[in-house]
Amino acid sequence: MHTIHYPTRSQVLGSSASATRVQSLESNGLQAHTYLRPGCTFDISLQDRLFTMLVEVTSSAFGADMTSYWKLRREQDYFHKLESFTLFVEGDDQIVGWTGYCIIEPDASSQILYIDSTGVVPRHQSGGVMKRIAADQWLPRAEEACERFSEVYLTARTESPVFYRLLRRLVGPEKIYPAAHDRLPANVLRCAEQLATWLGQRHLLQKDSLLLRNAYAVVDALYGELPSTGEVQLDRLFREVLGPLDAYLLIAQVGSAP
């Protein structure tokens, strides 16, 4: 079986940037290299190399051509919006995944941690990489914010039921939306509207369902093959409702609503 080789960290980053944190993901031999506020530390040349790498790695991860997606993200100043950017690196230095998050503070009482584009190449999918990062980075960062904000949310835009299940396990089923059996609380709807506005997609938001119609209009389809959890009800929530370019806004409540 042919092994696909990906760009290495030394090829892409060289000595241009040093990770703020390097974390060993012992279960699969990967390391997570995290860079805080990359827009302030990555020069234009480095950003160019990273965007080239991201097209290759994300196209492999999603099974679809992501060239136009990253062209748009470059135009949207992707790195400057990120609070944190993480690369997943194999023992031989190949970059095999990425994630990042943004911090949004729409008012004095609330903070939204938005998990931006995230994934790993096929040979590391279902290996627990994102579960580890979610528990070690995303949730602690959100819980820390609870000391200063009365409302704190972990959020994402996705058409993947696998990612929904990840957040559900992280915060508990009673704290994540959309939920098939629940009406949206006012604070969750307010968070969704604030997030959709920040994404420039307020006009696409269907408030009763947290669905963004044509959220990924820049690509032909985000996934070559849609992921599945094996949970009939959860998979149905995604497969029977979402079109190939649609997404849900996932809202996970971490801090207490007033």
Percent with pLDDT over 70 in the chain = 93
Within a domain: 215: yes
- Per-residue buried b or exposed e for 156-190, using 16+ beta carbons within 10 Å of the residue's own CB: bbbbbbbbbbbbbebbeeebbbbeeeeebeebbbb
pLDDT in tens, 131-190: 999 999 999 999 999 999 999 999 999 999 999 999 999 999 999 999 866 789 999 999
Within a domain: 2: no
What secondary structure does DSSP assign to 36-97, as a single string? Answer: ESHHHH--HHHHHHHHHHHHHHHHHHHTS--HHHHHHHHHTTHHHH-SEEEEEE-TTSBEEE
Within a domain: 1: no
d(CA 234, CA 165): 8
CATH number of the domain to which 110 belongs: 3.40.630.30
Within a domain: 123: yes
pLDDT in tens, 111-124: 999 999 999 999 99
- Per-residue buried b or exposed e for 204-223, using 16+ beta carbons within 10 Å of the residue's own CB: bbeeebbbbbebbebbebbe
Within a domain: 183: yes
Q: Which domain holds residue 188?
A: 9-253
In the chain, the number of structural domains is: 1
Calculate the average pLDDT of the chain.
91
